[in-house]
């Protein structure tokens, strides 16, 4: 558990509301729909997290309902464990993430923080040779799940694996998991980004105690060709969730950017 290990190495940061204006992320290409992400690098200073070190961000204002987390590196791998602390005994959201190259494929996610008090903890589980930069900021934007409202979703039963393959025109992909419409149950899932013959480039293993209050949203960069994203429901059959896996940025408006759904 993060809370129990290396707490003496943790450093806390206080989050407050941002300035009135904020900028939407704009990398190369076209964003496919209303973005729930902001360019927090322009408004908030990232913090260097050394290997085997914990950093925490205290979300001081009760009105802050969600924050954006960015993890980047100078090109080295990133291994991190992220938790949302509500109380010392209650962790409504947690996930571990690995990315092969934190510069080419950074971690960009939205963490819902509906309850107060709340703290975001980021633990670099990698060795000392693999530090990364972490940035946690309040964007003031709407729920990420609203950005996919009206888009087709996939109902993923417990134990089910679904896969999506994207054409080279797609620069990045957004993944949103929620159980709001199926009983507000907890979610336990694994998300994998592979390229070529099963080369794993990025993985996320997440748990949310309530898929309604704490839906999961992440954007994965997909440079190159033959990118496949697998969504695996690691829970029992009684705990399904809805999954949206959609292009986020693309360099073409052609139908080739649409995912090809597979799985079993």
213-222 tens-digit pLDDT: 899 999 999 9
In a domain, residue 2? The reply is no
In a domain, residue 188? The reply is yes
In a domain, residue 1? The reply is no
pLDDT digits (tens, 9 = 90+) for 95-122: 999 999 999 999 999 999 998 899 999 9
For 204-213, what is the mean pLDDT? 91
Task: Please choose, from the candidates 140, 115, 120, the residue with its C-alpha nearest in 3D space to the C-alpha of residue 47.
Answer: 120
Q: Determine the structural domain holding residue 120 and report its residue range.
A: 7-18+25-263
Please state, rounded to an integer, the average pLDDT across all residues of the chain.
86
Position 244 scores a pLDDT of 96
Q: pTM of whole model > 0.75?
A: yes
Cα angle at 42 between 38 and 44, to 5 degrees?
90
Q: Residues of 192-220 as b/e, b for ≥16 C-beta within 10 angstroms? A: bbbbeeeeebbbbbbbbbbbbbbbbbbbb
Look at the chain and report how many structural domains it folds into. 1
Q: How confident is the model at residue 11 (pLDDT cuts 50, 70, 90)?
A: low
């Amino acid at each position: 558990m993060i809370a129990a290990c290396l707490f003496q190495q943790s450093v806390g940061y206080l989050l407050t509301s941002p300035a009135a204006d904020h900028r939407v992320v704009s990398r190369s290409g076209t964003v496919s729909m209303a973005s729930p992400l902001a360019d927090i690098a322009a408004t908030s200073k990232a913090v260097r997290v050394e290997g085997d070190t914990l950093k925490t961000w205290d979300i001081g204002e009760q009105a802050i309902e969600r924050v954006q987390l960015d993890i980047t590196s100078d090109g080295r791998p990133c291994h991190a464990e992220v938790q949302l602390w509500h109380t010392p005994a209650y962790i409504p959201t947690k996930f571990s993430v690995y990315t092969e190259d934190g510069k080419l494929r950074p971690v960009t996610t939205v963490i819902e923080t509906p309850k107060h008090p709340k703290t975001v903890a980021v633990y670099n589980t990698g060795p000392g040779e693999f530090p990364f930069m972490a940035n946690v900021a309040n964007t003031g934007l709407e729920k990420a799940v609203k950005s996919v409202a009206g888009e087709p979703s996939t109902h993923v039963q417990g134990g089910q694996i679904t896969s999506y393959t994207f054409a080279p025109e797609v620069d990045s992909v957004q993944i949103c998991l929620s159980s709001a419409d199926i009983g507000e149950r907890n979610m336990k899932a694994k998300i994998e980004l592979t390229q070529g013959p099963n080369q794993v480039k990025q993985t996320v293993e997440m748990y949310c105690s309530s898929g309604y209050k704490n839906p999961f949203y992440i954007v994965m960069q997909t440079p190159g060709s033959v990118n496949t994203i697998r969504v695996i429901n690691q829970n029992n059959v009684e705990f399904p969730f809805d999954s949206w896996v959609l292009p986020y940025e693309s360099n073409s408006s052609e139908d080739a950017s649409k995912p090809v759904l597979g799985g079993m």
